[in-house]
Amino acid sequence: MSRTSRKIIFKESTGRRIIEQSRIRLICVGLFFILCFASIAVRMVDVAVFDKRARQTITVTDPDNEKSEQVELQQTTESATEFKLQRGDIVDRNGALLATSLMTASVFVNPKEMRDKEEAATKLGNALGLDSKKLLAKFQGGKSFLWIKRNLTPKQENLVNSLGIPGLYFLPEEKRVYPYGNMTSHVIGYVGVDNKGLGGIEKEFDQRLRDTAINNDPFALSIDVRLQAIMHEEMLKAVDEFDAIGATGVIMDIHSGELLSMISLPDFDPNKLNKDDDAARFNRATLGAYEMGSTFKSFTMAEALEYGTANMKSSYDAINPLRIGGFTISDAHSMHRWLSVPEIYAFSSNVGVARMVMEVGAKRQRAFLEKIGMLAPIEIELPEKATPLYPSDWKEINMVTIAYGHGISVSPLHLVRGIAALVDGGTLPRLTLLKDGNKGRADGAQVISEKTSANIRRLMRLVVEHGTGTKADVPGYRVAGKTGTAEKVNSGGGYNHNAKLASFIAAFPVENPRYIVLVMIDEPKGDKSTFEFATGGWISAPVVNRVITRMGPLLGIKPEYDVPQDDAEKYWVDKSGDKPAEKAKTHPASLPLYKQFFHAASY
């Protein structure tokens, strides 16, 4: 082979070798980049799927309440779109949103990573409206974790993020929002900073609301936010007009047992809780226990009629005050004559019901009140429930005072449920705050006969037509009801004549009652419009009138104007009875005389 041929072959092999080496180098470089990208991809999958959350329990300081607390910090790489809300929505019976959750960001810092603590404190203070000096003091405290502010608005989050402060971090969190604020506060309740239910429905159904969030199904209550708005507005007006310290209002659907409205004043804004709200968080409707005054005479009438110790034609001596065991029972505006059963109820005579209950007896009175649920806590889907207060030793004087609503304290819901039983055929309803909450449940116990129930309806209608509750009468809606005015007990014992609880409880339409409406005003001050009276008839009955006037058309209840009068009036001055001759002497001579007595009645 010539020298020239060998040179050509050598050059060709050298070229192949160089090309081969280059190919190997390219393959190695390619494998290197593949391994790098694979490593990054594996890490991303690991972070995004297998190691989303790392938890540690540390001590943090919340600047909103200046309190240190142990919390479980959840650091996460989840994006805003991946963050899952912990609590489901709460809606009213018609789907109106009462409570919902929004995703927000909370900001915290590690002061040890800060380069300039003073500058950071100044910037954060200006951005979030916080005290920069207090922030700086905390930054210099040697801690590695400090909350700056929870649940930032989107605007605040962007502003803080743009500051570029080292050691500053965001944590996705959940903020509970209540669109109707104060108006539904005692029903819905509220949550803490960790979104745990601390009151109302939020607390009672804490776990169920968490499950609701998973299932994405709203939690429906029986409350009708339209009626809630009406009751809230009318009661606020009454509290303001009569300078009262508080109030309670309830609307109940008798047929279903569902509460359509429940108001307690003063109230609070669950969106902005603070220490000043502690007293306002007290739910008067379920947790308050009060002496109900003359509204309790409804139960005395029912037990006397049911046990047969009285009938609609019976009458009792109410000429003079009644002395029992050193105590004097009297009427605020005595008629100084015998009164028939309808007159006793319509005039709200203490002496009359006292004589009635003495025929019933203490043992049967207590058994009756126990049967209608007055001696045990109410069953309702709220954690705030009152235990009734009553004497352990049921003496004669206790029997008499309880007959007209003193000496026993129950919650407003006890009264609502009891009156519902009296007017709705005698069946004790099951109260509920859930839509269709009683669906599939057995009816309550039969506590009185249908005959007694019909007579109670007649008596309650008589109160509104001719008695102390005329200001609650709404043309076309046939309202029945009972007034109540109870003097409040002093802390040291005895009654305060200047501190009253003025109530009116109504049922309508009277022929087949569908709704119960209760209004209680706490310590109202009478004025010229009420002739200085601070009673249920003057203060609360007009509020009930306005509520029914507004809610009737809203619920599609057609008013009726040509309904015959109730036959309770035929007993108004009936002279028959066990001792007709004796009673005839003290009865009024003619029916129109009743008109002279009602304007001055105090109950």
Beta bridge partners of residue 106, listed in sequence order = 171
| Residues whose CB is less than 8 angstroms from the CB of residue 35 and which lie 6 or more positions away in sequence, other chains included | none
Instruction: Answer yes or no: are the C-beta atoms of 513 and 424 closer than 8 Å.
Output: yes
Sign of the C-alpha dihedral, residues 339, 343, 345, 346? Answer: negative
For residue 268, the one-letter residue type is F
426 token code pair: 């005698």
Q: Is 132 a catalytic residue?
A: no
User: Distance between CA atoms of 419 and 520, rounded to whole angstroms?
Assistant: 15
Closest among 546, 540, 495 to 522, alpha carbons compared: 540
Neighbours of 326 (CB within 10 A): 6
Running DSSP on this structure, what letter comes out for residue 407? S
Place of tokens 């109030």: 247
Instruction: Answer yes or no: are the C-beta atoms of 201 and 176 closer than 8 Å.
Output: no
How far does Cα 140 stand from its chain's mean position?
45
| Residues whose CB is less than 8 angstroms from the CB of residue 168 and which lie 6 or more positions away in sequence, other chains included | 107, 108, 109, 120, 124, 148, 160
Catalytic residue among 294, 411, 503, 540: 294
| Residues whose CB is less than 8 angstroms from the CB of residue 132 and which lie 6 or more positions away in sequence, other chains included | 121, 122, 124, 125, 126
User: Distance between CA atoms of 171 and 169, rounded to whole angstroms?
Assistant: 7
Element (H, E) at 200: helix 200-204
The Cα angle at residue 294 between residues 290 and 297, in degrees rounded to 5: 110
Strands of 433-556 (E only): list them: 480-489, 495-508, 515-522
* Ranges of H-type helices in 262-333: 297-307
Residues catalogued as catalytic: 294
